Structure formats: C-alpha cells, structure tokens
Chain A
C-alpha cells in the first residue's frame, strides 16, 4: 500500500471509482469482529498479574520500612534541597521554595507533610494531600519538585542527586 504515488488529484472525485480501486477498497475492508476474544483475557490477565505483584512488592517494602524513623526529603531538579527527621518538627513549619514556575509552600510537622500552595497549573502536588508513611510523596512536575517521606537511612526512593544544599 504505497502512499507515495505523487500528488493527489482531488478533482478525480465522484463516481469515477474504477474496478481497480473497488478491489483495493474491498480488500481493505474485511468484515470485522469486535466481540471479546480469548486473547483479550491474556492481555488483561497479564496486566492484572504484573500490577498485583508490584502492589504486593511495594506493600512489603512499606511494611519493612514502617518502623524506621521518617525523614522528609524535598528534591528539586533531581537535587536534594533538604532532608530532615520529622521528629525535629514538633511545631508545624512552613517552607517556601522558589521555583521556575513560581513558588511552593510545604508544611512540615512531626506527623505529616503536605503541599499547601503551589504556582503550578494542575495542583496535583496539592491534591496529593497528607504524606504520612515512608514512601508517600507529592510530585509537582511544572516546578520539578518532589516531596517525599523516606526512611532514616534514606533508601525509600533513592535519588541519584548529590546533596547540594541542606536547609538549616
């Protein structure tokens, strides 16, 4: 089915469909069967199986890291802006970050961390809500900022960035 047959001639319209073209179109339009077939079950089954394995793996991982102390890690453009133990925040503290898209306000307390304000358009980070468990996170792509709860050893979602700035 070559589509490079030179310029199209749109004036060649109407009822001038030749036998050759009729044959071409006939071969192009076989009767289709839209009903559910057994291959579909294989597709669905493998997707569900893989997802269940991933969810179970993440749950086991979360269980294993639950007892450890929780740290809040804020990453911008892949670099760690700050990483501190939640126990240090007995009183809630608001952090303001200047980003390419504007600013973000992140509230950190000893129980939870959440994004309060963000200048991004979709506010997905704000909708992520309270982050309490190790592995929880809020991602703001327009700002390139990730807020996450990591375990004390910092292995829940290791980042390849080096610590450039540690907020004190």
Chain B
C-alpha cells in the first residue's frame, strides 16, 4: 500500500510535468492564426490528463488539470488564460469521469466528450470575463472542432496507456 502511494505520487508528478510540456509545446508548434477559430487549440495537454485518469485515478487527474493551469499562470501566463484553462479543465474532467463509468464508451468517447465539455467551459469563462452573450456564437464551432481534436488525442493516448499498463504488469512479475 505504501509503495502504491509513492508510485502514484511519482506517476502523477511525471504526468503533470508532461501536461505542462505539452501545453508549452503546443503553443510553440502550432502558430497562432492558422487554426480556424480564434482561441481554438488542439489540447495536447489532455493526453497527459487522459493518461492520469486511466492509469492513476480521478483525483489525480483533477490535480493534474488544476495544477497545470496554476503552473502555466506561474510560468508567465496571464490571469485570463488561467480562468479559461481552469474552467475548461474542470468541465472536461467531470465529463470524462462520468463517461469513463458508462458502459460501451471507449477512450474515444471519453476524450471526445471531454473535449466538447472543455469548449463549453471556455465559453462559460468568456461569458464571465466579457459579460457578453455574443460569445455563445462561437460555441458550436468550438465544440465541433474540439471534439474532432478529442478523437485525435484519444488515438495518441492509447499507446501511452498500453505502455504504462505493460510497465505495471512487468513490475508485478
């Protein structure tokens, strides 16, 4: 039990670092303006959060999502981006928790539903920050594109979860 705790803490910390690196890498690799909707992102960091949800646990996944937002703020982000990623992250996490419990829903459905909820959370943040209902006009496009990105993210996450399961099984033997 004790070793499990240390093992989980270590994996969560590594996955948090991975989430941060992926966020920064995405901002770096994907130039602003080539994506069709202002503010739309592919959400690479969700790879790390999805892996945490599948391989470690729910609480840890929420921890990774929230700490990622906080650390990005500390590493030179702005408060607006923080509110956006925090609300988006919490919305995505709760949706993914519900979906991962449902029968007949694979990692694809979980990731796609999470991405859609992420878009919804971001529009909520925009509503709060701008106090203008106009931003709702973005919602369907953001959610549709985000869901497509969510499918891609699930595809990229599968080999990582498989590898981590494999490592876990090796350790038992």
A residues apposed to B, CB below 8 Å: 1-3, 5-10, 12-13, 17, 21-22, 24-26, 28-29, 32-40, 42-44, 47-48, 50-52, 54-55, 58, 75, 77-78, 121-125, 127-128, 135, 137, 139, 141-142, 144, 146, 148, 156-161
- Other A-B pairs, 17, CB within 8 Å; known A51-B144, A122-B32: A3-B5, A5-B1, A8-B2, A10-B6, A17-B171, A25-B171, A32-B54, A37-B108, A43-B105, A44-B112, A54-B139, A55-B140, A55-B141, A141-B130, A144-B130, A146-B130, A158-B133
Q: Which of B39, B99, B134 contacts A146 (CB 8 A)?
A: B134
**A13 contacts which chain B residues (CB < 8 A)?**
3
CA–CA, A9 and B4, complex, Å: 10
Q: Enumerate chain B interface residues (CB-CB to A < 8 A).
A: 1-6, 8-9, 32-33, 38-39, 54, 57, 59, 78, 80, 84, 99, 102-109, 112-113, 116, 126, 129-135, 137, 139-141, 143-144, 147, 158, 161-162, 165, 168-169, 171-172
* A34 and B158 contacting across the interface, CB-CB below 8 Å: yes
Q: Is the CB–CB distance between A8 and B5 below 8 Å?
A: yes
Q: Which of B106, B132, B147 is A34 in contact with, Cβ under 8 Å?
A: B106
Contact of A75 (CB < 8 Å), options: B5, B130, B168 = B130
Closest A-B pairs by Cβ, 7 of them: A157-B134, A78-B131, A39-B104, A39-B105, A40-B109, A8-B6, A51-B140
Q: State A29–B143 Cα separation when bound (angstroms).
A: 33
Q: Are A1 and B130 in contact (CB under 8 A)?
A: no
Q: How far does the alpha carbon of A17 sit from the alpha carbon of B6 in the complex, in Å?
A: 14
Cross-chain contact A25 with B172 (CB below 8 angstroms): yes
B80 pairs with A141, CB closer than 8 A: yes
Q: Which residues of B contact A7 (CB under 8 A)?
A: 2
* Neighbouring A residues of B169 by C-beta, 8 Å: 29
CB closest residue in chain B, given A140: B130
- In the bound complex, residues from chain A placing their C-beta under 8 Å from that of B6 are 8-10
Residue with the highest number of chain A CB atoms closer than 10 Å, among B1, B99, B147:
B1
Select the residue from B8, B129, B137, B162 with max chain A CB neighbours within 10 A: B137
Residues in A with CB closer than 8 Å to B147 are 44, 47-48
CB <8 Å contact, B33 and A127:
yes
Contacting pair B102 A39 (CB below 8 A) = yes
Tell whether A128 pairs with B38 under 8 Å between CB atoms, given A51-B143, A144-B130: yes
A10 to B6, CA, bound (A): 7
Contact of A78 among B54, B130, B140 (CB under 8 A): B130
